[in-house]
């Protein structure tokens, strides 16, 4: 996933899920345990203007940007 991609939030019900655009991909590492505590935060802009930080497994890629 990268900036500009369209994603769908994976929710309990697909009827309740929403679509948004990735505005930032943040790779993070815990300085105290870099070999086992690291990940990716995906910042998504929703149609209502809210920017939310989610994990990759909470999103489904709908359309990749070029």
Half-sphere exposure of 42 (CA within 13 A, CB side): 23
19 has pLDDT over 90? yes
Mean pLDDT within 16-26: 92
Residue the block writes with tokens 């497994």? 57
Token readout for 26 is: 């943040």
pLDDT at 34: 74
pLDDT-derived band at 10 (thresholds 50, 70, 90) equals confident
54 has pLDDT over 70? yes
Alpha-carbon distance of 62 to 29, in angstroms, equals 27
Domain ranges of the chain: 6-63
Instruction: Tell me what the pLDDT averaged over the chain comes to.
Output: 88
Mean pLDDT within 7-34: 85
Q: What pTM, to 2 d.p., does this model score?
A: 0.81
């Amino acid at each position: 996933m990268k900036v500009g991609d369209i994603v769908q939030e994976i929710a309990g019900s697909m009827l309740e899920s929403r679509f948004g655009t990735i505005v930032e991909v943040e790779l993070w590492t815990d300085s105290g345990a870099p070999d086992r505590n690291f990940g990716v935060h995906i910042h998504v802009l929703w149609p209502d203007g809210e920017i939310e930080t989610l994990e990759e497994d909470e999103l489904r890629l709908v359309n990749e940007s070029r």
